[in-house]
A and B are shown apart, each in its own frame.
Chain A
Amino acid sequence: MSRGRTAGVIVLFMAYLAVGNLLFFVPLVDQEIIQPWTRVNAKASAAIASGLGVETRAAGTVVSSGQAGLNIMQGCNGAHALLLLLSSILAFPAPWSRRLIGIVTGTVVLLGINVVRIVNLIVVARYFPDKLELFHLAIWQTLIVFIAVALFLVWGAFVASRSTADIGADLD
């Protein structure tokens, strides 16, 4: 990619991020998308944790297990990591069909992993409450970003391999 094109990708990435961040502040988006999604996160996490033998209840965006209670807020619902991934996929020069594949796959994987994150945090909050901050803010916050980056790199490799295959087919 030329230097000018790279700069264009970076500008687009930042623009998508800024627009996404702006959407978080729109009450309608918060009420109709973010909050319901966060409640789904809470319910799914509580169900999985209970299935694993850690009795957990969900009420709105709050999950509680024993004495421990967690309120799932913006950032812990996977919305930030998803915004980063979607912004990078949208900014990267690729055909729309491949972007769509990246967006759908990335969204499913990332949000699935976010449920695993919450289940893990429920277990830590219940049995190792003094380690909650470490897991919540240091490990998982970086790990979820790492997973978003890994998804982007895998998608990028997929796009590149398909492009090479397309060129090969054209030459044939």
Chain B
Amino acid sequence: MEIVRAAVAFVVFLAVLAPARWVGLGPLYGKAVLVVAQAIVVPTQHFPLLAKLDNLTLNNLEHVVILTFALFLVSTNLDFASRLSRFGPALAVIFAYHVIVVILTIKVQATQELLTSMNILVLSPAEFRVVDWLRYFAYDLGLEIAPFVMLILTSAWNLTASREQRAGVENRACPPRKKKRQRAGGPSRSGRRHLAAAAIGLGSLVVFASAAVLYGRWRETEPRHVEAHAKIGHLLWNSHKDALAEAQYRIALAGRTTDPEVFYNLAGLETRSGNRDAALRLLGQGARMAHTPEWRARFQKATVVIQARSTSP
């Protein structure tokens, strides 16, 4: 029976696909997913490089939405309210999952673009492998996982509903005996099991969050990552986004960068803000990092200029 239901859903899916394409449901759904992904990615990105997510198109995300709609229509064992209470949250989960797909795809694309065009390594090779694996899992394989899970879930929901209906009819004919009253005092066996599950879940969450925080801290001192902050700082500096560049330079500085340009440009920003002592301190530190005669000369010249300004009336 459930195979027939799935087959009918597939036919409905094919029937709805053409009008959905005609009204442009795919691009519309893609846009909605992109808007939510943008609202998450842009304010929370580690490297402030993306202002918009315009140039990303992920095809066929809407197929599983249409299939879910078709499964909703053919789930005749469930009444309308039960269908809404099951397929509504399922659609919300699918949407959230598509947002994650978009975020992972952006991560992979941005990492590849920055490495090939500007030689900036925003993710370490190991990190990139993990993100790429997740993206493949969520998108390439996910295009098939999502319909599979929805078809299985629909079968399970309809089967359960028909069994409950049958049980209801049998109960009316022969009412079950009253269950033994639960012993008073202390949680029941299932209650204890729920408590244990909650404790394990919470413990796992704490361990995972702590590991993430520790990894994040270690990462900020990793030389290649520090270099990425410095290089992105230069990129923002050259685009005249001084405030963003300064933030990246400060992170690079905290990570003990050895890039002389970071010290030089930061000293320039300090001078502009009237902090000449801080600027001189940065120039002194930068001069020690300068490994070429050109950089040493630049630091020397800048130091002389700032000192002259501070001594002149």
Taking A150-B3, A150-B6, A152-B152 as contacts, is the C-beta distance between A141 and B143 under 8 angstroms?
Answer: yes
Tell me if A153 and B148 are in contact (CB < 8 A). no
Smallest CB separation, B129 vs chain A (Å): 8
Contact segment of B134-142, B229-237, B268-276: B134-142
Smallest CB separation, A124 vs chain B (Å): 15
Does B10 touch A at the CB level, under 8 Å? yes
Tell me if B145 and A84 are in contact (CB < 8 A). yes
Size category of the binding interface on chain B:
20 to 34
What separation, in Å, do the CA atoms of A84 and B143 have in the docked complex?
A: 12
Please report which residues of chain B, range 1-49, place their CB below 8 angstroms from some CB of chain A when the two chains form the complex.
2-3, 6-7, 10, 13-14, 17
Tell me if A84 and B144 are in contact (CB < 8 A). yes
Does A17 touch B at the CB level, under 8 Å? yes
- In terms of DSSP, what is the predominant structure of the interface of chain B? helix
What separation, in Å, do the CA atoms of A9 and B143 have in the docked complex?
A: 21
Does B59 touch A at the CB level, under 8 Å? yes
Does A145 touch B at the CB level, under 8 Å? yes
Does A144 touch B at the CB level, under 8 Å? yes
Mask for A96-124, Cβ within 8 A of B = 1, else 0?
00000000000000000000000000000
Please report which residues of chain B, range 137-159, place their CB below 8 angstroms from some CB of chain A when the two chains form the complex.
137, 140-141, 143-145, 147-148, 151-152, 155
Which A residues are closer than 8 A to B by beta carbons? 4, 17-18, 21-22, 24-25, 74-75, 80-81, 83-84, 88, 134, 137-139, 141-146, 148-150, 152-154
Which B residues are closer than 8 A to A by beta carbons? 2-3, 6-7, 10, 13-14, 17, 59-60, 63, 67, 129, 133, 136-137, 140-141, 143-145, 147-148, 151-152, 155, 193
